[in-house]
Structure 1
Amino acid sequence: MKTASIDSILSTLTEQGSAGLLKGIKRGVERECLRIESNRLAQTSHQNALGSALTHPYITTDFSESLLEFITPACSDIDTTLAQLEDIHKFTLSNIGNEELWPLSMPCFIEDQDEIRLADYGTSNVGKMKTLYRQGLKNRYGSMMQAIAGVHFNLSFPTEFWQKLQQIDGNSAPLGDYISEKYFALIRNFKRELWLISYLFGASPALCNSFLGGRKTNLPFESLGKGTLYLPYATSLRLGDLGYTNSAQSSLRVTYNSLEEYLEGFKQAISMTSDLYHQFGTYKDEPAKQLNQNILQIENEFYSPIRPKRNAQSGQTPSEALADGGVEYIEVRALDVNPFSEVGISKEQIQFLDVFLLYCAIKPSPDLAWQEQIETQANLDLVVNRGRQPGLELSNKGKAQTLSSWADSIFIELKKVASLFDDAFETTQYSDVVSKFAQAVEKPELTYSGKFLAELLESQEDNGYYALKLSTEYKQKMLANSYQVFGESVFSAHAVESHEKQKEIEESDDKSFIEFLDDYFK
């Protein structure tokens, strides 16, 4: 798709007074965190006072009973989104007794994966399917990997902004098709330069040796304290080979050059059988150990740092929703939990992501060939393990380029985009944030991973015990805060309503579990 240059787009938007369209951007945050008690993983069930994990709109669980997921509704004001997230944290912490919330991505103090209880969603067919899916994940990858927490950031640009951009591009396609194409252009550019997000915001350069569970690794770990392993220049071990990855998916060729191409790749991926997982059988076996023998049990098993999304109707799969209505928003899944924020993400990060994602959307984005997609992954792997190493070289279209020089060239463009946001919101905050993070290119100690590791090395303290002090500090602070948006009565009402909804779903089932899954996989 033909597109104008970044400079011409920014110039036109400024000249026509259209920067204000950016005020309609909507964002949402999904923050995962483990419940802990003292220095161990909480063994309690999801607390009744928090509502039903199956149906609550804001508080649910992810892989395990102890892995909470907090979800904010789509909102066009960053401060409101963060206030909502703080309210969710306050209510949760008020209803989990002596337990606290783990402030890191990488888990600790788990000696055996059987300590990690699978999430329970009740007796309905859909609830049992969710639990069986997690049983499959446990058998395929082990529960320890599934105990890793992250932050997902959802963003959509307003329709009026896309209309203006389409006009600037001189594009005459149906608006919905144009929007989908531009989101895929964004995704391609994001994948090309994802390494920068890992460099700046990666916050998992260290892990507890219990996480390895005796597994061998070729990574040159150094030791700290009684049981901490770290790589001196690492940024985000969560995104590396030890973290939330799936080597079995390396045979899948899902590409991002168009909605149609993406959906076709997904269709093939979801139906591809796996010799590796054949041993676990299907949902018809007794006892069932996974949903099916494919490389992906369901679409959500596909690991990607960014996804095109559309809110699905009841009964729709994610790809069916995309096929029916096109891309509605994107989900960034590459963020570590920020240990320097009580809620796992900061306003500065969100503002930077606003700028970075708009930059990805308006920058020319040629097709991303499979070989180049492999190159983007290789760059990410380098930055994950050695991102802060002086003079580190990446591969830019097959040519070696230092991380610092590439990052500098990106920041030149980001500063231009930040000025447009400043105009829209009548502030200098966006330019200030981009300038602040630009300093981390020449000073790696200013990155999140650099600051985190420096604190550990200075104190010679295990990262687990450092995190325990943070979790206690953050709980006290959250409990002392007042509700800002929702209020305790709102959460309590949602909890009651969610339990009622779960009961209705369970009572409405008119098929056996096997029949339900037979229909689902048709």
Structure 2
Amino acid sequence: MLSDPAVRALVTKGLVGLEKETLRVTPDGRVALTPHPPVLGSALTHPHITTDFSEALVELVTPALSDPQAVLDFLGDLHLFVYQHIGDERLWAGSMPCVIHGGAEIPLAQYGRSNAAQMKTVYRRGLGNRYGRVMQIIAGVHFNFSLPEAFWEQTQADFFGGVSAGFASDSAAVLGARNLGYMGMVRNLQRLGWMVPYLFGASPAVCKSFVQDANADLEAFDTNTLYSPFATSLRMGDIGYQNRQEEGTGLKANYDNLDAYTRSLTWAIRTPCPHYEPLGVKVNGRWEQLNDHVLQIENEYYSTVRPKQLTDWMEFPTLALRRRGIRYVELRSVDVNLFDPLGIELEQMHFLSLFMLYCLLLPSPTISPRERRWIDANEVLAAHRGREPGLMLQRADGQIALRDWGQQVLSAMEPLAVLIDGGIGGELSAALKAQQFKMTEPDATPSARVLAEMRTRGEGFAEFAGRLTEQHRDRLKQRELAPASLALFQRLADESRQRQAQIEAADDCDFDTFLARYFAQTEAQPVTLRSPFAAALAPSEELT
């Protein structure tokens, strides 16, 4: 496929974007109890600065661009703008929070007076009731990747094996190829997903205050820190925010194709779950969860990777996928890089782009139930014991050492890197070489570096992460935001507040009716909630 120079050129025009979560904390490392600063704009409608589960969990969203450095530059400007408006608070350096005294002190995110805003907060209250609030403030970096539409136009025959698929139109054939290709990528990212925590995991230790389960298989690093000696990413392990909803609910998303995927999630948001019925839905006049179904909404299903499509006003994400296909793929398993002020660096972005492209081009059969168990087990093993000498993983041809498998995959990626770079010694090849070194030298991984530095300095996790938080803050505050960037963010903040006011003014029913209308939408019946925006405006990411 890539022997065609025209196709190869299109691959270099692929888009990448980042969503970086970061916890606002007090100078002593506690979760900030202050509201999301209004001067940053409306968390409901701002395209780049919002909140996740908590008022304190800031989410910074870049545009999708073809230049990874431009993405990082934008993310850096977002950090500078936020730091200008949070006083003496800090942006915590790592994925795992610290100094927590129970979930009750973690404030739910608030989005205003509208029904849409109330829905977001009720959804979060439901998450807290179902899984506990502490788990919800773990931070991560989501890496978004897509290829230009012209790529799918040029390569549709390759994805269909050179056989006409009998589509009614060329556009339908392109859409079919795009969905087929991206779902294959998603499956391979799951098969090889254990590589991400090994290479980039940066959470091998946690505060004791975070761990609620006294039976957690962790050792004491010091009086206030728990760790696992060979862990890479406890965030991605058993103590992190995993698919707890699978326990007793029978839910497992089906990734065979886009139709199977959307149907499996649709079943989950339509099906009552006895496990969540005791929580109640509307209790003494307050909504405790959106419903008592297996999932309140699709986004509740945690996965390391998701196929995504932008949504229209209050449109189900699954319906957006069914109507317009997959627009991009979101890799969600990347820890916040403690050693970088932005939480991710350029070399990492180059490798992740190459890795996702490799997973697109690799053959991708459907995942059997047996392989699904292997995938889940490999992920947890790599997260908790990834640097353990001789650690074995499971694949179809039997057990294999993690490092042997990793070296095989990285070696297989070499020709692709050279091809995209246009020769030996390019950026992708250099990024790949750095990961090959980590695979042979586990001490070079971020997780090993975290533990080594903690030991050398005699620091527990709180002291270590707190020190890096201060260093990153000082480094960022030494920079000045360019006047053009400052003006852009001030304008976006003003516009976001205006859009929030539009949404609040457009409400024409009570919240109970709003929810009923929202959940009544089907593929044939669009949502019957009037959009507060002009039809000419482009769709935005789902509000939930």
Match of 1:6 in 2: none
Q: Deviations over 1:133-172 (max 9, x none)?
A: 0110111111100010011111101122223333445253
Query: What residue number does 2:51 align with?
Result: 61
Does the CA-based 8 Å contact 1:337-1:345 persist in structure 2? Answer: yes
Aligned position for 2:256? 257
Q: What amino acid does structure 2 have at the position aligned with 1:239?
A: M
Structure 2: which 5+ residue stretches go unaligned?
A: 166-172, 521-544
Matches within 5 A, 1:422-441: 422-423=421-422, 428-441=426-439
Match of 2:22 in 1: 33
Instruction: Determine whether 1:145 maps to 2:126.
Output: no
AA matched with 1:118: L
Counterpart amino acid of 2:414? K
Matches within 5 A, 1:46-445: 46-168=36-158, 169-173=161-165, 174-213=173-212, 215-219=213-217, 221-250=218-247, 251-283=250-282, 286-397=285-396, 399-423=398-422, 428-445=426-443
Is the partner of 1:331 in helix, strand or coil?
strand
State the distance in 1 between where 2:311 and 2:78 align: 24
SS in structure 1 of the partner of residue 262 of structure 2: helix
TM-score for the superposition, normalised by structure 1: 0.94
Structure 1 residue aligned with 2:531: none
Alpha-carbon deviation of 1:453? 1.3
SS of aligned partner of 2:125: helix
Name the structure with the higher helix share: 1
Structure 1, unmatched stretches of 5+, are: 1-8
- Residue by residue, what CA displacement relative to the aligned partner does 1:298-337 show, whole Å, maximum 9, x if unpaired? 1110111000011111121110000001111101111111
Q: Which 10-residue stretch deviates more, 370-379 or 277-286?
A: 277-286
Match in the other structure for 2:472: 474
Q: CA deviation at 1:198?
A: 1.2
Change (3 A) 1:461 1:390: same
8 Å CA contact 2:341, 2:472 repeated in 1: yes
Cα distance between partner residues in 2 of 1:507 and 1:416: 56
The Cα offsets for residues 18-58 of structure 1, whole Å up to 9 and x where unpaired, read as 42212211111000010011111111111011111101111
Deviations 1:426-484 (A, max 9, x none): 96111111011101112111111111111112212011111111111111211222336
Q: State how far apart, in whole Å, the 2-side matches of 1:505 and 1:160 are.
A: 36
* Contact residue 270 and residue 295 of structure 1 kept, 8 A: yes
Aligned partners of 1:36 and 1:100 also within 8 Å: yes
Does the 8 Å contact 1:307/1:331 carry over to 2?
yes
Change (3 A) 1:29 1:484: farther
- State whether residues 83 and 484 of structure 1, in contact with CA within 8 Å, keep that contact through their aligned partners in structure 2: no
Deviation digits for residues 275-308 of structure 1, max 9, x if unmatched?
A: 1111122247622211110120011101110000
Letter matched to residue 252 of structure 2: R
Q: Look up the match of 2:530.
A: none
Question: For residues 307 and 483 of structure 2, what CA distance do their matches in structure 1 show?
Answer: 29
The equivalent residue for 2:33 is 43
Which range moved further: 166-175 or 489-498?
A: 166-175
Rounded to whole Å, the distance in 1 between the matches of 2:240 and 2:484 is 34
Letter in 1 for 2:507: D
8 Å Cα contact 1:225/1:460 also seen in 2: no
Q: SS of 1:60's equivalent?
A: strand
Q: Distance in 2 between matches of 1:416 and 1:410?
A: 12
Q: Please give the per-residue CA displacement for 1:246-287, whole angstroms capped at 9, x wherever unaligned.
A: 322242131111111111211212222221111122247622
Q: Is the 8 A contact 1:80 1:485 kept in 2?
A: no
Q: Give the whole-Å Cα distance in 2 for the aligned partners of 1:336 and 1:193.
A: 16
Distance verdict in 2 for CA 1:486–1:66, change over 3 Å: farther
AA in 1 matched with 2:279? F
Whole-angstrom distance in 2 between the partners of 1:485 and 1:382: 48
Native 8 Å contact 2:19 2:62 kept in 1: yes
Letter matched to residue 164 of structure 2: S
The 8 Å contact of residues 83 and 485 in structure 1, kept in 2 or not, is answered as no
- The one-letter amino acid of 1:34's match is L
Among all aligned residue pairs of Structure 1 and Structure 2, give the percentage whose two residues are the same amino acid. 40
The corresponding residue for 1:517 is 515
Alignment-mate amino acid for residue 20 of structure 1: A
| Cα distance in 1 between the residues matched to 2:313 and 2:94 | 34
Q: Does 1:447 align with 2:445?
A: yes
Structure 2 counterpart of 1:98, one-letter code: D
TM-score, scaled relative to structure 2: 0.91
Q: Contact 2:216/2:239 (CA < 8 Å) preserved in 1? A: no
SS class of match (1:383): helix
Q: Is contact 1:31–1:151 with CA below 8 Å preserved after alignment?
A: yes
Note the C-alpha offset of 1:485.
9.2
Partner of residue 11, structure 2: 22
Distance 2:180 2:484 in 1: 36
Contact 2:144–2:330 under 8 Å retained in 1: yes
Return 280-289 or 378-387, whichever deviates more.
Answer: 280-289
